[in-house]
Amino acid sequence: MELAKQVALVTGGARGIGKAICKELAAAGARLAVVDIMKDVAEQTATEFLQQGVDAKAFAANVADGADVERMVDEVLAAMGQVDILVNNAGITRDNLIVRMKDSDWDAVIAVNLKGTFNCTKAVARPMMKARRGKIVNIASIVGVMGNAGQANYSASKAGVIGLTKSAAKELASRNILVNAVAPGYIQTEMTEKLSDQARQNFLSVIPLARPGTPEDVARVVRFLAGPASDYVTGQVIHIDGGMVM
Ligand code: NAI
């Protein structure tokens, strides 16, 4: 139980990869702050964990809104006493070709995926600096490394998350706050259910391990980066993609 008594704040924790991360961190002993814009689903998820004996609470917030994030982090600190681990997982897609992409689709994806990661990092940095310890894990994407037709906004936001990860790692290292990212490839979730059969086949044909990833594949690496086994690792981006990008 390497995370015993630690509080993990997971954004977008209500479902999908975020929920799997919550489950894995709880299995390592962490207490959970399940943060999501979908209040009801977050509460349902927190209740599920509570029923399994995990100390979990739901907090509603829009990560794109800095003031809302400040309020939420204050609420988490008041209710749970500390934040030891932040997982910036909340993310959205609004896919389209560049020539057809609406400004609002560009702005929404950058606001949630990139500014949301900045907002949450900023809000937890102060209490973590005071505690002189902390682990931040950002969920980027392999398309932030390799690009993807039809996802200019999304891949730009995830490339931005990788730059933010490295800057935050350098800025916060002296306070013993470690910042890393994971870059998942094709992971089976509600987000990727929207893919066409053709797009799915295209992905599978370039994955050496020849299968899509699972949310648990991602969650296990996040557990490593959140725990003491990675205490000399910061500013890194770990690909979780079945070998798609080497
Ligand atoms: P999902 O759509 O199943 O879950 C995302 C969660 O984030 C939802 O619970 C949603 O309500 C929440 N959320 C969305 N906007 C929010 C906001 N403004 N404030 C607070 N919460 C918000 O997606 P999935 O697949 O679980 O993705 C999780 C993360 O993993 C995302 O950052 C995504 O970009 C990333 N990722 C997913 C991959 C995949 O293949 N599914 C591949 C690579 C990265």
User: Per-residue confidence of the chain (246 residues) as pLDDT tens digits?
Assistant: 999 999 999 999 999 999 999 999 999 999 999 999 999 999 999 999 999 999 999 999 999 999 999 999 999 999 999 999 999 999 999 999 999 999 999 999 999 999 999 999 999 999 999 999 999 999 999 999 999 999 999 999 999 999 999 999 999 999 999 999 999 999 998 778 888 888 889 889 999 999 999 999 999 999 999 999 999 999 999 999 999 999
CA of 151 to the centre of ligand 1 (A): 15
For the chain, the straight-line distance linking the first and the last C-alpha, in angstroms and rounded, comes to 32
C-beta separation of 46 from 54 below 8 A: no
Indicate if ligand 1 lies below 6 Å from the C-beta of 16. Answer: yes
C-alpha to C-alpha distance for 139 and 88, rounded to whole angstroms: 6
* DSSP secondary structure letter of residue 229: G
Residue nearest to atom 17 of ligand 1 (CA): 62
Q: What's the CA gap between 88 and 159, in Å, rounded?
A: 14
The model's pTM: 0.98
**Residue 194 confidence (pLDDT):** 80
Q: Give residue 4's pLDDT.
A: 98
Establish whether residue 90 lines the binding site of ligand 1, counting it when its CB lies within 6 angstroms of any ligand atom. yes
176 φ/ψ sector (left φ>0, alpha ψ -120 to 50, else beta): left
Q: What is the pLDDT of residues 126-160, one digit of tens each?
A: 999 999 999 999 999 999 999 999 999 999 999 99
Q: Which residues are catalytic?
A: 154
- Please report, for residues 115, 119, 147, 207, 225, the alpha-carbon distance to residue 160 in angstroms, rounded to integers and kept in the order given: 9, 14, 12, 24, 20
Mutation test residue for ligand 1: of 191, 238, 241, the one with most atoms within 8 Å of CB = 191
Taking the centre of ligand 1 as the mean of its atom positions, its distance from the CA of residue 221, in whole angstroms, is 17
* Cβ proximity of 230 and 224 under 8 Å: yes
Q: What integer pLDDT is reported at residue 109 of this predicted model?
A: 98
Q: What is the dihedral of CA 95, 96, 101, 105, to 10 degrees?
A: -10
- pLDDT for position 32: 98
pLDDT for res 182? 99
Mutation probe of ligand 1 site: the residue of 37, 69, 71, 192 with most atoms within 8 A of C-beta: 37
Average confidence score pLDDT of the chain? 97
Q: What is the Å distance from ligand 1's center to 90 Cα? A: 5
Of all protein residues, whose CA lies closest to atom 33 belonging to ligand 1? 91
DSSP 8-state secondary structure symbol assigned to residue 93: -
Residues 197-207: pLDDT tens digits?
A: 888 898 899 99
**113 CA → ligand 1 middle, Å:** 9
